[in-house]
Amino acid sequence: MDPRIDSLRAMKQRGEKIAVLTAYDYPLARLLDESGIDVILVGDSLGMVVLGFPDTTLVTMEQMLHHTAAVARAVKHAVILTDLPFASYETPERALENARQLIDAGAHGVKLEGGAAKRAEIEAITHAGIPLMAHIGMLPQQVRLEGGYKVKGKTPDEVEALLADARAVEEAGAFAVVLELVRPAVAEQITRAISIPTIGIGSGQNCDGQVLVTHDLIGLFPWFTPKFVSREAHVADEIRGAVSAFINQAKSTPTRGS
């Protein structure tokens, strides 16, 4: 196992929280890395906050490779993980082929959505020596089938299914697992039940770490912010202010000869 990945597992063992943020380009990745973030996720969320798609299902492998390479040029310290995009891991063979491409582009590991149903794909990747983070709970790539972003773990059957998924990805070799929109009490139960780190998003504070889309955190995508996000900055307002100042300055400068 890559020592950078081992360090994340060791953080769980000593009770140290793991901080994960997304980046999709060189300047943002460099800023996150220089700030000391543990993990940079080149997430397929770029489909919405960078490319203007309605959800993540339209993101392609070519786009993920392009953005991964940009991030890799910036990062010196953080672990870089990249999402396998929608329909890129439908079979174990395809999953491994595309995971290898992302590693060649500069990722240290990959992430895919799904629990027990994706065990064969996870094993194909991890048995090849590629670090993999799993993702259970709400699966954004299934949002069209789900009919929206819905909290998971509301019924005893859902809780059992989530626990089974968590154990399955651990057994398949995943080094960590994202819990998205899982009821906090259930996320805490899962965190206690498995030995690999849990990374929560909208799943309460008792996971082993937290991940957010950086654009949500800093207010760079002001048109939509998830309910569970507390903005720490309002970058969109700063940009608008700077652009307005430039426009006023440019338009107030007299044309020579007038």
Among candidates 190, 213, 188, 24, which has minimal Cα distance to 106? 24
Phi-psi region of 81 (alpha: psi -120 to 50; beta: other; left: phi over 0): beta
* Top-tier CATH class for 3-252: alpha beta
pLDDT at 2 over 90: no
**What is the distance between the alpha carbons of residues 81 and 258, in angstroms, rounded to a whole number?**
57
- pLDDT tens digits for range 228-253: 898 999 999 999 999 999 999 999 97
Strands (E), the chain: 18-22, 39-42, 79-83, 109-111, 132-137, 176-180, 198-201, 209-212
**What is the distance between the alpha carbons of residues 58 and 86, in angstroms, rounded to a whole number?**
7
- pLDDT tens digits for range 19-64: 999 999 999 999 999 999 999 999 999 999 999 999 999 999 999 9
User: What pLDDT score was predicted for residue 205?
Assistant: 96
* Degrees, nearest 5: CA angle 226-227-228: 95
Q: Mean pLDDT over residues 114-138, rounded?
A: 98
- pLDDT tens digits for range 193-202: 999 999 999 9
- Local confidence band at 227 (pLDDT 50, 70, 90 cut-offs): confident
**What is the distance between the alpha carbons of residues 143 and 208, in angstroms, rounded to a whole number?**
25
User: What pLDDT score was predicted for residue 258?
Assistant: 54
User: What pLDDT score was predicted for residue 18?
Assistant: 98
Q: Judge residue 98's burial from the number of C-beta atoms within 10 Å of its C-beta, 0-12 exposed, 13-18 middle, 19 or more buried.
A: buried
User: What pLDDT score was predicted for residue 257?
Assistant: 62
Among candidates 171, 172, 211, which has minimal Cα distance to 83? 211
- DSSP-derived letter for residue 114 is B
- Local confidence band at 17 (pLDDT 50, 70, 90 cut-offs): very high
**What is the distance between the alpha carbons of residues 61 and 244, in angstroms, rounded to a whole number?**
37
Domain ranges of the chain: 3-252
User: What pLDDT score was predicted for residue 146?
Assistant: 82
* Number of CB atoms found within 10 A of residue 87's CB: 13
In what helix (H) or strand (E) does residue 93 lie, and over which residues does it extend? Answer: helix 92-105
> Does the annotation count 93 as an active-site position?
no
Active-site annotation holder among 180, 188, 232, 238: 180
- pLDDT tens digits for range 168-206: 999 999 999 999 999 999 999 999 999 999 999 999 999
User: What pLDDT score was predicted for residue 15?
Assistant: 96
User: Which two three-digit tokens encode residue 218?
Assistant: 């800093």
pLDDT at 6 over 70: yes
- Local confidence band at 255 (pLDDT 50, 70, 90 cut-offs): confident
User: What pLDDT score was predicted for residue 147?
Assistant: 80
- Local confidence band at 65 (pLDDT 50, 70, 90 cut-offs): very high
